[in-house]
């Protein structure tokens, strides 16, 4: 049996650090997007924004940014 990575999911971090996304939103990735960078690029075409935070990125869906 072989194991193959199928990609990553990027989900919304919510409108502020203490609140989860009310819709539990996730980027609808294309079949060819496998890395977090590629999925975030898909999200930007869908209206998502990415903000830098100390040590990580914050991904926000169109309703939370």
- 64 contacts 50 by C-beta, under 8 angstroms: no
Q: Which long-range contacts does 3-7 make (Cβ < 8 Å, 24+ apart)?
A: 5/34, 6/34, 7/33, 7/34, 7/35, 7/39
**Burial of residue 45 (number of CB atoms within 10 Å: 0-12, 13-18, 19+):** exposed
3-state secondary structure (DSSP) of residue 65: coil
Model confidence over 7-44: pLDDT tens digits? 889 999 999 888 999 999 999 988 889 899 999 999 99
At residue 32, the pLDDT reads 87
Q: Which residue ranges make up each domain of the chain?
A: 1-56
């Amino acid at each position: 049996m072989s194991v193959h990575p199928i990609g990553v999911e990027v989900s919304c971090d919510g409108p502020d650090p203490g609140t989860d996304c009310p819709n539990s939103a996730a980027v609808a990735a294309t079949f060819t997007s496998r890395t977090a960078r590629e999925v975030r690029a898909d999200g930007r075409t869908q209206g998502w924004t990415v903000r830098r935070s100390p040590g990580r990125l914050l991904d926000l869906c169109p309703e939370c940014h």
